[in-house]
Amino acid sequence: MLFLSISHHYLFWHYSRAFMEIFHVWLNLLWFVIHFFSLPQLMRSWISPWKRIVEGRGEKWNLEDLAGYIIIGLVSRIIGFILRTVVITIGLFCLLCTIVAGFAVYAFWIAAPLLIIALVVFGVTLLFA
């Protein structure tokens, strides 16, 4: 009788409270990945100059200063765009892996008690076969 009581309490915990705790851990991992790669900040500043490297305008009617201002700004923005795109892509890939891993953990968590019982029964049948 004690075994059935323990089994009942374990299965109740396994499919209720632990299920929600796994969900909260999964949400924390998703939050960590999003903030580790700074995805919101990178998406807001996607086309900003790299490390705010910009050239001062200089004299107003000097074409050489104007060309330097435009070229340095454009090159800095292109470099920033490329590097931020790479980091955002890696971050989104890690986020996708975290989502897939979360679903895999849930699938395993649902099937684990039945899988343990099935493996014990299979082992006993192998012993007596």
Q: In this model, does residue 104 exceed pLDDT 90? A: yes
Question: At residue 69, what is the residue type?
Answer: Y
Quote the mean pLDDT of the chain.
90
Cα–Cα distance measured from residue 103 to residue 129, given in angstroms and rounded to the nearest whole number: 37
Q: Per the structure block, which two tokens stand in for 60?
A: 């107003």
Per cent of the chain over pLDDT 70 is: 98
How many beta carbons lie within 10 A of that of residue 80, not counting itself?
20
Please tell me the distance from the alpha carbon of residue 96 to that of residue 99, in angstroms, as a whole number. Answer: 5
- Residue ranges making up the domain that contains 33: 2-127
Cβ atoms 73, 57 nearer than 8 A: no
CA distance 2 to 116: 20
Q: How many folded domains does the chain comprise?
A: 1
Query: pLDDT tens across 6-61, in order?
Result: 888 888 898 899 999 999 999 999 999 999 999 999 999 888 887 777 777 777 78
Which residue is listed with tokens 């029964």?
121
Structure tokens given for 90: 């890696």
71 vs 106: CA distance, rounded Å: 52
**pLDDT, mean of residues 93-114:** 96
Using DSSP, state whether 37 is helix, strand or coil: coil
What confidence tens digit (pLDDT) does each residue in 47-93 have?
888 777 777 777 778 888 888 888 888 998 899 999 999 999 999 99
